[in-house]
């Protein structure tokens, strides 16, 4: 399987752009290039997602959302694209803000905490394919890698809460720790059943299985439940409403982010939306057929006809996976602007008494299903 | 166990209910949207109908408007404004330049070159409108709604746009009339000042003092620094000071002073005072004798040289350290009242540059009239003369 890194190294070497043709130098060049690209992608993702979220929330609350800021003739007013430059303006404002580090903080930890969170999100994106071969690094333990590395973010959250030397932040950090540890389990278990069926941890293999068989969400009645558990636990992992206890504005001000401002706070924001994208992409790949076209998928599922595959291929694949991921992001926003925040005990109840038992039973039932029908 | 599943069922159904509700709002934003995008859309202004005719409504403190065609540039509004947010420049048109009439039929004699109202400063006291003889400055809307519709918002992006400029005269007209009248064109002068103040690259010139330029812009009138008091004849009225009744004393002194100013002789002055007092029904035998003394008093005619002395010179005289008059000599007088009187007289003499001897004489007569003259004072006065 080729990945962006491989093709980039190969391209650099073939074009003779690397002095001495050293493979190590080519690797360094490729890594730097892709790192910058991923960073820009994350920033762009946050800009668009924030605008999207503000619009979605506004429409759900009978408002209009940002309507005035615009550029290139797209100046606000009563158009539907009104306020399209709002998040750009907000980002510039954030970058222009004073960088405040409160006196009694643990300076070093306070400074590195946001970057740990961001680093976790960044690393998770590296392992996620957005089309056949469109991946920065194709791990053969892809699922395991992404789940593991995205949990590292919680260290950053705990550090930021601790280093802030603020009771709200500390509460937020403790809640985040409890929450993320709890919700790791249902996530792992719902993924486990997929891995069990496919027999591989590699994203490409999982999608290939769905291509030859069917999407996992309709694999069996139990995988629908697994899908719901995975997606909801994913929402909890990225600390979004109704699971946003670590940063609940109304009780904890902003939880672990209370003391952060300006650029550092922007880093938190970037990672939050990067994580949202990671969870959506994961769900899309594992349960919704990844980059497979729904058209071809449906046709194959019901064995209607073969040969309707013109909507497939790597770039169409990128399109389809984006559609699925954006739909899931929209659903997350829909959750956020509908459901009230949970209480801490309800949060624990949901994880330990509902999601985990159901996920465990699911694994067993899917095993039985596979024995009977595969 | 069944409670557990029921719980999950209720959770799912209520969550789903909520999502259905928000979805309904999400897709139905045309109908349900509650936002009014203010600068782009506005509510209609509700009509006022409270059962009175329009004209009897109270004034609405909305925004000032000037019907500039009716303005005669009398500047009453400018003067009435307690915070000076009205600025008017006017040019008096020469006889052969007709500016027309206002709707009230008043001839317009001044061309309004500038009529700016800074609504950012205005405190809506409405005082300017009462003074206008032509009723051409008013708050819009309300009872004035027929003249100008209400403007309650006039929100602007730039604060400078809140300076409303009402003058409609063209630059050429202002220039022409100023030239014909032989005065500086106020509008061109203002423009010039701005150009002088701001360098072409947007910087600010250091050398130009705007305030000074502003002043220079005004017609230069050489005003005397100190207003010379009109020279008046003076009369020693200390005789009247013994009158005990306050009202009578005041009346007597006032009458006497008026008579002196009118250039009457002492005898005539005394007559006038007597007449005034008898008219008031206050004349008694004792008073008549006191007033009789007045006839003997002298009237000092003002010395022309003293009053016309230029200010600078008097100043210089004051500045000489060993002047002819040293007030501190009088500090030796123990009686407070006598000391005050003496100092006041001497001071006046000093200011007018009069001779010391005359002043000392005056002090003497004054104090003796008050019955305050004693040997101690005599000694001091003698020292002053010597
Ligand atoms: S309303 Fe009052 S403050 Fe405003 S311009 Fe008139 S006099 Fe001045
Ligand atoms: S008081 Fe009236 S007529 Fe006089 S300058 Fe003001 S607006 Fe013009």
How far, in Å, from the CA of B119 to the mean position of ligand 2? Answer: 17
Is residue A305's pLDDT more than 80? no
Is residue B207's pLDDT more than 50? no
Q: What is the strand order of the sheet B110-118 is part of?
A: B86-92, B110-118, B163-165
Lining residues, ligand 2, CB within 6 Å: B 66, 71-77, 88, 131-134, 136-137
Give pLDDT, residue A356.
92
* Six token digits for residue A219: 């694999």
Gap between the Cα atoms of B179 and B185, Å rounded:
7
Q: Is A67 on the interface with B (CB under 8 A)?
A: yes
Give pLDDT, residue B49.
67
User: What is the mean pLDDT of the segment spanning A249-275?
Assistant: 84
Give pLDDT, residue A230.
92
Range B260-268, long-range pairs (CB < 8 A, 24+ positions): B260/B232, B260/B233, B260/B234, B260/B235, B260/B299, B261/B232, B261/B233, B263/B233, B265/B299, B266/B235, B266/B294, B266/B295, B266/B296, B266/B297, B266/B298, B266/B299, B267/B295
Closest ligand to B88 CA?
2
Give pLDDT, residue B220.
45
Beta bridge partners of B139: B64
Domains and CATH numbers, chain B: 37-169 (3.30.70.3270), 233-301 (no CATH), 320-385 (no CATH)
Which of A50-54, A209-213, B62-66 has the weakest average pLDDT? A209-213
**Percentage of residues in chain A with pLDDT exceeding 90?**
8
Which residue, among B376, B385, B297, has the nearest Cα to B339 in the 3D structure?
B376
Please count the CA atoms within 13 angstroms of the CA of B209 that sit on its side-chain side.
Answer: 4
Give pLDDT, residue B57.
73
Give pLDDT, residue B222.
47
* Six token digits for residue A178: 């409890």
**DSSP single-letter state for residue B44:** P
The minimum CA-CA distance between A137 and chain B, rounded to whole Å, is 38
Determine whether the interchain pair A63/B33 forms a contact, defined as Cβ–Cβ distance below 8 Å.
yes
Q: Which of B88, B128, B129 to mutate to test the pocket of ligand 1 (most atoms within 8 A of CB)?
A: B128
pLDDT band at B320 (very low <50, low <70, confident <90, very high): very low
Gap between the Cα atoms of B264 and B41, Å rounded:
81
Q: How many residues in chain B?
A: 386
Give pLDDT, residue B14.
92
Range A308-315, long-range pairs (CB < 8 A, 24+ positions): A313/A132, A314/A131, A314/A132, A314/A133, A314/A134, A315/A131
Closest ligand to B117 CA?
1
Q: Is the CB of B86 under 6 A from ligand 1?
A: yes
Spans of all domains in chain A: 113-373
User: What is the mean pLDDT of the segment spanning B163-185?
Assistant: 85
pLDDT digits (tens, 9 = 90+) for A60-110: 888 888 887 777 666 655 566 677 888 888 888 888 888 888 888 888 888
Which of A10-24, A241-255, B161-175, B270-284 has the weakest average pLDDT? A10-24
Gap between the Cα atoms of A370 and A253, Å rounded:
49
Is residue B17's pLDDT more than 80? yes
Which of A67-76, A306-315, B94-103 has the weakest average pLDDT? A306-315
Which of A135-149, A187-201, A251-265, B207-221 has the weakest average pLDDT? B207-221
**Percentage of residues in chain B with pLDDT exceeding 90?**
4
- Which one has a higher pLDDT value, B54 or A102? A102
* Six token digits for residue B277: 């007092």
ipTM of the complex: 0.79
Give pLDDT, residue A73.
62
- Using DSSP's 3-state secondary structure scheme, residue B237 falls into coil
pLDDT digits (tens, 9 = 90+) for B103-144: 888 888 888 888 999 988 899 898 999 988 888 899 888 788
* Neighbouring residues of A178: CB distance < 8 A, sequence distance ≥ 6: A344, A348
Gap between the Cα atoms of A274 and B49, Å rounded:
59
Q: Which of B63, B65, B78, B125 to mutate to test the pocket of ligand 1 (most atoms within 8 A of CB)?
A: B125
* Neighbouring residues of A52: CB distance < 8 A, sequence distance ≥ 6: A329, A330, A333
* C-alpha to C-alpha distances, B349 to B135, B226, B234, B359, B370, nearest whole angstrom: 54, 18, 13, 6, 20
Give pLDDT, residue A80.
64
Which residue, among B234, B303, B232, has the nearest Cα to B269 in the 3D structure?
B234
Give pLDDT, residue B217.
53
pLDDT band at B218 (very low <50, low <70, confident <90, very high): low
DSSP string of A172-227? HHHHHHHHHHHHHHHHHHHHHHHHHHH----HHHHHHHHHHS--GGGTSHHHHHHH
Give pLDDT, residue A75.
60
Contact B139, B59 (CB under 8 A): yes
User: What is the mean pLDDT of the segment spanning B257-275?
Assistant: 79
* Neighbouring residues of A269: CB distance < 8 A, sequence distance ≥ 6: A46, A50
- Which one has a higher pLDDT value, A106 or B384? A106
pLDDT digits (tens, 9 = 90+) for A127-151: 888 888 778 888 888 889 988 888 8
* Six token digits for residue B45: 């202004």
* Average per-residue pLDDT for chain A: 84
Check residue A99 and give left, alpha or beta (phi > 0: left; psi -120 to 50: alpha): beta
Is residue A116's pLDDT more than 80? yes
Is pTM beyond 0.95? Reply is no
Is residue B202's pLDDT more than 70? no
* Neighbouring residues of A289: CB distance < 8 A, sequence distance ≥ 6: A207, A210, A211, A215, A216, A297, A324
Is residue B209's pLDDT more than 80? no
- Which one has a higher pLDDT value, B222 or B180? B180
């Amino acid at each position: 399987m080729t990945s962006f890194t491989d093709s980039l190294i190969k391209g650099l070497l073939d074009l003779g752009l690397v002095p001495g043709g050293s493979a190590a130098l080519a690797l360094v060049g490729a890594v730097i290039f892709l790192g910058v690209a991923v960073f820009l992608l994350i920033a762009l993702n946050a800009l668009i997602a924030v605008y999207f979220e503000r619009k979605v929330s506004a429409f759900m609350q009978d408002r209009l959302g940002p309507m005035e800021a615009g550029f290139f003739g797209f100046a606000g007013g009563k158009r539907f694209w009104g306020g399209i430059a709002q998040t750009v303006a907000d980002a510039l404002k954030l970058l222009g803000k004073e960088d405040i580090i409160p006196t009694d903080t643990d300076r070093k930890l306070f400074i590195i905490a946001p970057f740990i969170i961001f680093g976790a999100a960044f690393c998770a994106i590296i392992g996620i394919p957005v089309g056949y071969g469109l991946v920065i690094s194709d791990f053969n333990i892809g699922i395991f890698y992404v789940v593991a590395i995205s949990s590292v973010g919680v260290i950053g959250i705990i550090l930021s809460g601790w280093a802030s030397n603020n009771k709200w932040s500390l509460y937020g950090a403790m809640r985040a720790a409890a929450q993320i540890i709890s919700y790791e389990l249902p996530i792992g278990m719902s993924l486990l059943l997929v891995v069990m069926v496919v027999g591989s941890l590699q994203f490409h293999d999982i999608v290939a299985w769905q291509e030859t068989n069917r999407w996992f969400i309709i694999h069996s009645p139990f995988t629908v439940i697994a899908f719901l558990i995975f997606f909801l636990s994913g929402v909890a992992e990225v600390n979004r409403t109704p699971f946003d206890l670590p940063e609940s504005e109304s009780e904890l001000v902003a939880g672990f982010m209370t003391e952060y401002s300006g650029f550092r706070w922007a880093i938190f924001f970037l990672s939050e939306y990067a994580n949202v994208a990671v969870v959506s992409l994961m769900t899309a790949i594992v349960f919704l057929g990844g980059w497979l076209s729904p058209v071809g998928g449906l046709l194959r599922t019901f064995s209607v006809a073969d040969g309707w595959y013109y909507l497939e291929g790597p770039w169409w694949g990128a399109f389809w996976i984006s559609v699925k991921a954006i739909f899931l992001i929209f659903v997350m926003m829909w959750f956020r602007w509908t459901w009230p925040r949970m209480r801490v005990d309800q949060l624990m109840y949901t994880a330990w008494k509902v999601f985990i038992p159901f996920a465990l039973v699911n694994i067993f039932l899917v095993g039985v299903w596979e024995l009977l029908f595969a | 166990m069944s409670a557990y599943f029921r719980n999950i069922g209720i959770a799912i159904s209520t969550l789903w209910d909520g999502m259905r509700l928000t979805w309904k709002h999400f897709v139905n934003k045309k109908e349900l949207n509650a936002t009014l995008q203010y600068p782009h859309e506005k509510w209609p202004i509700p009509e006022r109908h409270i059962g009175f005719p329009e004209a009897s409504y109270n004034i609405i403190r909305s925004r000032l408007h000037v019907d500039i065609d009716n303005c005669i540039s009398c500047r009453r509004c400018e003067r009435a404004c307690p915070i000076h947010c009205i600025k008017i420049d006017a040019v008096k048109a020469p006889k052969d330049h007709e500016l027309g009439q206002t709707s009230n039929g008043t001839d317009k004699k001044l061309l309004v070159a500038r009529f700016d109202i800074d609504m950012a400063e205005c405190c809506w006291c409405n005082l300017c409108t009462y003074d206008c003889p032509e009723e051409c400055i008013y708050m819009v809307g309300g009872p004035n709604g027929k003249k100008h519709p209400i403007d309650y918002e006039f929100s602007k992006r730039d604060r400078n746009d809140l300076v409303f400029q009402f003058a409609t005269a063209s630059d050429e007209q202002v220039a022409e009339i100023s030239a014909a009248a032989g005065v500086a064109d106020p509008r061109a002068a203002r423009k010039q000042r701005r150009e002088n103040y701001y360098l072409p690259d947007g910087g600010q010139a250091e050398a130009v003092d705007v305030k000074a330029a502003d002043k220079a812009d005004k017609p230069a009138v050489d005003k005397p620094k100190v207003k010379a008091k009109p020279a008046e004849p003076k009369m020693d009225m200390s005789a009247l000071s013994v009158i005990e009744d306050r009202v009578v004393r005041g009346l007597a002194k006032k009458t006497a002073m008026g008579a002196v100013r009118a250039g009457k002789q002492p005898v005539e002055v005394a007559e006038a005072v007597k007449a005034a007092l008898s008219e008031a029904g206050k004349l008694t035998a004792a008073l008549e004798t006191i007033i009789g003394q007045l006839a003997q008093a002298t009237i000092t005619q003002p010395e022309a040289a003293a009053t016309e002395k230029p200010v600078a010179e008097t100043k210089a005289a004051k500045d000489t350290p060993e002047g002819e008059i040293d007030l501190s000599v009088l500090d030796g007088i123990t009686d407070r009242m006598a000391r005050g009187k003496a100092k006041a007289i001497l001071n006046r003499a000093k200011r007018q540059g009069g001779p010391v001897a005359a002043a000392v004489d005056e002090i003497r007569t004054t104090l003796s009239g008050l019955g305050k003259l004693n040997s101690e004072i005599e000694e001091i006065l003698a020292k002053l003369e010597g």
